[in-house]
Structure 1
Amino acid sequence: MTAPTDTQLIDFVLDEAAMLDALRFEDWLQLFTEDGHYWMPLAHGQTDPRLHASLLYEDKLLLQVRVARLAGARTFSQQPVSRCHHLLQQPRVLARDDAAGIFTCRTSFHYVETRQDTQTLYAGWATHTLVQQAGALRIREKRVDLVNCDAAFGSMQLFM
């Protein structure tokens, strides 16, 4: 299997954000490995999601539950639906292990989530740990570090 180029890794990260902005959550979920996680630390420099509280630490099953909830006809918090927009800086490839098929990208972002008259802005960094599986890139972990991770937050409906 040929290792992806840096450009292919960067395009994967950009395409993932575009998929979220288009509210294609079922397709987005398929980007994760079966052991994949979506992690949002509660503290700067947090190194372990299991030993410390996090804003979010969701495995693929919990992500599936959230995606199903967003699509549910009785999800009143989504009538009308929330929308989002990712504004990304150029992702950087931080590490690559071509032999193992493991790659790490980091992206600075501004993210806006809106529903009716409420618009909320978040800023931070997304770190993707990507792996090659069956000839395709998949997300093993997406870590979202918010600049103000220790602030009090309202309900985050979508995915950053």
Structure 2
Amino acid sequence: MTVVADAPLKNAVPTDQELIDFVVREARLIDQQRFDEWLDLYADDAFYWMPLEWNQTDPRLTCSLMYEDKLLLSIRVERLKGARTFSQKPKSRCHHVLQTPQVDSRDAAANSYVTWTPMHYIETRQDEQTLYAAWATHHLAVEGGRLKIKLKRVDLINCDAAFGNIQLFM
């Protein structure tokens, strides 16, 4: 069975189940290393944010583990696909274990939908395997009849710990 990356919505306003399915599909695309399809889920003005501090409220005035716009995300995707990316030989792999995403807010008039997903994320390369526990918050909007990510915020439970390189996307 092939997973459709960003299936068109049946109606102009997504149902809760469509929002939940979108979040689950996004994680699956990362796990299957379908990074171009994954990147297409992001709006052109989207950001991917991983705060460095607990309850951090601003990604610009405080350091973050990651705060990347779509251009930086696309550069990372190209690096992961590159033949001369020696740090990815062999390639890193990952696995998301998601709890059921919850719809935190929906405002059809403002075209704004927010989900919250507790998860465990495992990243592995050769003999090394790293487990992260986190919450992912997706801020979504409908563009051209499809859901798009405007902001994905990944809050690591131990965000203030020392980390090695996180190679893929949570």
Q: Give TM-score scaled by structure 2 length.
A: 0.93
TM-fit CA distance, 1:69: 0.3
Deviations 1:124-147 (A, max 9, x none): 100000000010000000000000
Deviations 1:81-103 (A, max 9, x none): 11000000000000000112110
For residue 43 of structure 2, what is the amino acid of its counterpart? T
TM-fit CA distance, 1:76: 0.5
TM-fit CA distance, 1:2: 2.1
Q: Does 1:47 align with 2:52?
A: no
Unaligned segments of structure 2, at least 5 residues? 1-10
**What pairs with 1:91-130 in structure 2 (closer than 5 Å)?**
91-130=101-140
Q: Does 1:76 align with 2:89?
A: no
Q: Give the alignment partner of residue 132 of structure 1, picking from 128, 133, 142.
A: 142
For residue 145 of structure 1, what is the amino acid of its counterpart? D
Aligned partners of 1:129, 1:4: CA distance in 2, in Å? 13
Provide the residue aligned with 1:25 in structure 2: 35
Moved over 2 A (4+): none
Q: Let me know the Cα RMSD of the aligned residues.
A: 0.7
Provide the residue aligned with 1:3 in structure 2: 13
For residue 75 of structure 1, what is the amino acid of its counterpart? T
For residue 88 of structure 1, what is the amino acid of its counterpart? L
Unaligned segments of structure 1, at least 5 residues? none
- SS where residue 33 of structure 1 aligns? strand
Deviations 1:34-69 (A, max 9, x none): 110000000111011011000000000100110000
Aligned partners of 2:87, 2:127: CA distance in 1, in Å? 13
Aligned partners of 2:12, 2:142: CA distance in 1, in Å? 10
